[in-house]
Amino acid sequence: MEVIRLPGIHHDTSISIVAGTEKSILIDSGTSWHQVNIEERINSKIEFLPRIEAILLTHRHYDTSGAANFLSEKFDAPVFIHPDASNSLISNDQLTTWASRYDSDMPVTETIPLTDGWEMDLGNGNIRCIYTPGHTNCHSSFFIPELSILFAGDLIPSPEYPGRTDFPTGNIPEMLDSIEKIIVLNPNVIVPSRGKTIRNEEVQKVLKKHRDFFISLKENLGELPENWPKPTPTCMWWSPNPKWG
């Protein structure tokens, strides 16, 4: 199997191409701002790979799913997401997708529901959906057992900062439970939404750092440490101060 990660442009999340011997899939799409550029970047990587058969979205936020409809039409590939997000994406919802904070419209996007345990055989390996709510109630991560690699979305946005739970449908206890689930899964590699890929002995260290943060956030009734700067309105992560080691 082959995994190709395309770093996000500006506010976009990263996009991953996963190719087996029979099928390729995309994980997340970025905003619609750079969708033509994204199409060109994807085409430059897939010339010798199997056809893209699906677009899997970790959650409904605009920075993650805004280009999904465009890419779906260009690659003739259906979009999959947890059913809690389906109505938001088909109805041009500006609130729970957070598109309004980007001063953008959320493109109307038809989706196919996927739930915990859903799998797709790519040839020489499967990709599996793991339901990981907390950042949103629709958040899923995607795991490839054969490679022991987890695509974590905004559950783990970066090894350097924790994701946020104060958006519509976010939930601190659910975030904690989801991180605990991934600690038990113990992947060898985590692909976060934006930061550098997390590998080997760093994986458990980063997961436990995030878990400890959300334990403290829960104990502090959702209040951040006073010395942490307030993130910008579109920011999908908290801003540690000083930066995490």
Determine the average pLDDT of the residues in 154-171.
95
Is 158 among the domain residues?
A: yes
Determine the average pLDDT of the residues in 8-33.
95
Is 233 among the domain residues?
A: no
- CATH assignment at residue 127: 3.60.15.10
- Give pLDDT, residue 226: 87
Is 235 among the domain residues?
A: no
- Give pLDDT, residue 39: 95
pLDDT-based confidence at residue 109 (cuts at 50, 70, 90): very high
Is 243 among the domain residues?
A: no
* Structural domain range at position 39: 2-219
Is 230 among the domain residues?
A: no
- Give pLDDT, residue 178: 98
Q: How far is CA 72 from CA 14, 67, 175, 222, in A?
A: 17, 8, 29, 38
Determine the average pLDDT of the residues in 167-172.
96
Q: How far is CA 125 from CA 47, 49, 59, in A?
A: 20, 15, 23
- Give pLDDT, residue 245: 63
Is 173 among the domain residues?
A: yes
191-221: per-residue pLDDT in tens? Answer: 999 989 999 999 999 999 999 999 999 999 9
Distance CA 81, CA 207 (A): 24
Is 237 among the domain residues?
A: no
- Give pLDDT, residue 16: 98
| Residue count of the chain | 245
59-102: per-residue pLDDT in tens? Answer: 999 999 999 999 999 999 999 999 999 999 999 899 999 999 99
- How many domains does the structure of the chain reveal? 1
Residue of 22, 30, 243 whose CA lies nearest to 153: 30
Percent of the chain with pLDDT over 70: 100
Is 189 among the domain residues?
A: yes
